[in-house]
Amino acid sequence: MLKLNVVILAAGAGKRMHSSLPKVLHTLAGRPLLTHVINTARKLSPNKICVVIGHGGETIRQTIIGDDLTWVIQERQLGTGHALMQALSQLSDDGLTLILYGDVPLVSIHTLRQLLVVADGRNCAVLSTVLVNPFGYGRIVRDIETGAVTAIVEQKDASAEQQDIHEINTGIMLIPNVYLHKWLPTIKNENAHQEYYLTDIIEMSVKNGIHVASSQAESFWEVMGVNNKLQLAELERYFQKYCANKLLDEGVSLIDPLRIDIRGELICGADVEIDINCIFEGTVKLGNHVQVGAHCILRNATVATGSVIRPYSMMEDVEIGENCKIGPYARIRPGTRLASEVQIGNFVEVKNSQIGVGSKTNHLSYIGDSCVGKNVNIGAGTITCNYDGTNKHVTIIEDDVFIGSDTQLVAPVKISKGSTIGAGSTITKETPADQLTLSRSKQVSIVGWGRPPKIKK
């Protein structure tokens, strides 16, 4: 088996982001740029992943977790060659090293595998792409006759003729470790930037008779780097469009593929319909025939077959059973599990609660830390008073309970099976099964009462 090492360069300052956050921690599709790169690298099952950090290094280490990562510090940023040099002692004697950039987040596993194929275990290989406007990039110089790569020339060092080359270096390359150990320490900084260019390796390779292979990325945005907020926003759009197209391909109906945001993984069954401006975060699973209305936010949620999420609803860390009706304007918070046929209506908040088959709470309620049975009807404005100012307490509502509107259930409390609670009650004690319980002061009318007269100023 070929030994593969990965080195991710992430020591740059990212000045053009105008941010105190290190560049590689800015997020794309809800995840730090560096996390995208690391996750892709992991798919290649390398022997080692080194991340070269400098600017904001401590913050990066605290944010990005992984026992499989080897952190390498580059104190001063003296160029890409210098950056890789810092990781040299971590690289095995043989095998290949793949160089990735922490600010080029979307390179695909397919493209990297292709690069591995052309490197063939022994060649150097560069990943290039052709740009309409190549300004600022290193240009790929090829032999006119054979077409073989002979050098990479940086913008500032390029001749007028070389500046006309549109094929550019993405920065991603594969180099056999034997050559890195041999050549990297000999790189000089005699160039326009006075930096140690990693790209000088290519010329050295050619001089030593080692073939430099090349391959191109499938789509240009895969190899686009992030230097400022504009590029970050553009890349986000490319990626979202890609995710939306993939969903459409799989048969999901998106009312407008340009108005959906996926920040994680969205797994859909058959005949799922998603209206505009929905955000999906973490892992979201939608069963067959699920409908999600406009402007919903779902994070780490599972929604079973046939359920309908109406507009402006949000949910996080929840499991929704089959054929439920949620919203509009519902908020379902972590730890909630709904059985099938449950209805949660407008302006209802549910937190850390289980709700049984066929139960309904349709208007303006708060259900927290509760266990609700089957066929329960919770009237408008019902509140579970789960917090006494110090501790949280549980409310138990058994099967077939009917709770009248505007009721407060002061936890810990149990509403026994078949209970009916009269509207406007404050319930503090367990209720007997199958009886009407109410707590209300008697209605009185005062004869001869009149409103106070208006005082003239």
Say whether residue 183 binds ligand UD1 (CB under 6 A).
no
> Which listed range, 192-200, 203-211, 315-323, 420-428, lies at the site for ligand UD1 (CB under 6 A)?
192-200
- For position 103 contacting ligand UD1 by CB under 6 A, the verdict is yes
# of chain residues touching ligand UD1 (CB under 6 A) = 27
Query: Looking at beta carbons only, is 99 or 409 nearer to ligand UD1?
Result: 99
The only residue of 7, 11, 175, 290 in contact with ligand UD1, by rule CB under 6 A: 11
Residue 240 near residue 29, CB atoms below 8 Å: yes
Q: Could you say whether residue 217 binds ligand UD1 (CB under 6 A)? A: no
Stretch that binds ligand UD1, among 61-69, 194-202, 311-319, 342-350 (CB under 6 A): 194-202
**Region near ligand UD1 per CB under 6 A, out of 26-34, 163-171, 174-182, 243-251:** 163-171
> Does position 12 bind ligand UD1 by CB under 6 A?
yes
> Is 169 one of the binding residues for ligand UD1 (CB under 6 A)?
yes
Using the minimum distance from each CB to ligand UD1, give the nearer residue, 156 or 457.
156
CB nearer ligand UD1, residue 55 or residue 259: 55
363 is catalytic: yes
> Which residues in 23-82 contact ligand UD1 (CB under 6 A)?
52, 74, 77-80, 82
Q: Nearest approach, Cβ of 24 to ligand UD1 (angstroms)?
A: 7
Q: Which residue is nearest to ligand UD1 (CB)?
A: 138
* 85 binds ligand UD1 per the rule CB under 6 A: no
CA nearest to 70, candidates 8, 1, 4 = 8
What is the 3-state secondary structure of the chain?
CCCEEEEEEECCCCHHHCCCCCHHHCEECCEEHHHHHHHHHHCCCCCEEEEEEECEHHHHHHHCCCCCEEEEECCCCCCHHHHHHHHHHHCCCCCEEEEEECCCCCCCHHHHHHHHHHHCCCCEEEEEEECCCCCCCCEEEECCCCCCEEEEECHHHCCHHHHCCCEEEEEEEEEEHHHHHHHHHHCCCCCCCCCCCCCHHHHHHHHCCCCEEEEECCCHHHHCCCCCHHHHHHHHHHHHHHHHHHHHHCCCEECCCCCEEEEEEEEECCCCEECCCEEEEEEEEECCCCEECCCCEEEEEEECCCCEECCCCEEEEEEECCCCEECCCEEECCCEEECCCCEEEECEEEECCEECCCCEEEECCEEECEEECCCCEECCCCEEECECCCCECCEEECCCCEECCCCEEECCEEECCCCEECCCCEECCCECCCCEECCCCCCCCCCCCCCCCCCCC
Which residue of 49, 198, 243, 332 would you call a contact of ligand UD1, by CB under 6 A?
A: 198
> Active site residue: 166, 211, 289, 363, which one?
363
For ligand UD1, which stretch binds (CB under 6 A), given 43-51, 195-203, 374-382, 398-406? 195-203
Task: Give the gyration radius of the chain's Cα atoms.
Answer: 31
Is residue 10 part of the contact set for ligand UD1 (CB under 6 A)? yes
Give the range of 110-118, 168-176, 255-263, 383-391 binding ligand UD1 by CB under 6 A: 168-176
Query: Closest separation between CB of residue 170 and ligand UD1, Å?
Result: 6
154 binds ligand UD1 (CB under 6 A): yes
From the CB of 17, what's the least distance to ligand UD1, in Å? 12
| Site membership for ligand UD1, residue 167 (CB under 6 A) | no
Q: Should residue 204 be labelled a site residue for ligand UD1 when binding is judged by CB under 6 A? A: no
- Toward ligand UD1, which CB reaches closer, 169 or 407? 169
| C-beta separation of 103 from 226 below 8 A | yes
Query: Least distance from C-beta 171 to ligand UD1, angstroms?
Result: 4
- Can you give the binding site for ligand UD1, defined by CB under 6 A? 9-12, 52, 74, 77-80, 82-83, 101-103, 137-138, 152, 154, 168-171, 197-199, 225
Q: Which residues are catalytic?
A: 363
